Amino acid sequence: MHLDRNIRSVGEIFAKPKIDLPESAGVYAFWWIGAKQKLLSSNRHIVLKGPGERPVDVTYEDWWPRDLRYPCLYVGKSTNIKKRFSLHIKRKSPGRLHVPLEGNAKAKPATTSCQLRFGIEHVFPFEGNPLAVIFKEVGFSFNTDFPDNAIAERFFEEDRLVGVWRPWFNIDSER
């Protein structure tokens, strides 16, 4: 999933009238395929709610493994890759869905399934057209090579990839 031949830009996936992705179960990843310097000069600080509602300061570091060509932004699993991809992007919602909060506090996401869109809007708080950034600078890959109804395998693969690739937007505080 992390090789160039597997990663397509979000804009390329949306280039045709129909989304060119399978409706199968699998594991997927979003990647920053734009200039690394643009990502590293973004707002890499977020304040999450921790145990007892206490604030937890987090900084997105440049911690992606050296064997990855691109930094990983988010890893997930789904029973329908095509539908889940669309929920992350929310293409029919132009402009910003999330208003930046004072002190880098984490805003409440528009939905629980748009982590990629939320993350891009947080790290680029002054970007008026986050969809343009996503279409141009974010890539997507997936793996659907799992046996039928392999719920546990997908769960463990997602967990393994989060640990190995250290995606920025998979961070949440312990509850």
Task: Kindly report, residue by residue over 65-97, the tens digit of the pLDDT.
Answer: 888 999 999 999 999 999 999 999 988 898 999
Quote the pTM value. 0.93
> Are the beta carbons of 97 and 118 closer than 8 angstroms?
yes
Structure confidence at residue 111 (pLDDT): 81
Structure confidence at residue 65 (pLDDT): 82
3-class DSSP state of 83: helix
Give the list of residues 6+ apart from residue 18 with CB closer than 8 angstroms, or none.
none
Gyration radius of the chain over CA positions: 16
Report the candidate in 113, 138, 167, 165 with the shortest Cα–Cα distance to residue 13.
138
**CA 119 to centroid of chain Cα atoms:** 7
Residue 127 structure tokens:
């970007």
**Ramachandran angles phi, psi of 107, nearest 5°:** -75, 160
**CA 125 to centroid of chain Cα atoms:** 16
Structure confidence at residue 74 (pLDDT): 96
Structure confidence at residue 175 (pLDDT): 43
User: Burial, 118: exposed, middle or buried (Cβ in 10 Å; 0-12, 13-18, 19+)?
Assistant: buried
Q: Which residues in the chain show pLDDT less than 50? A: 175
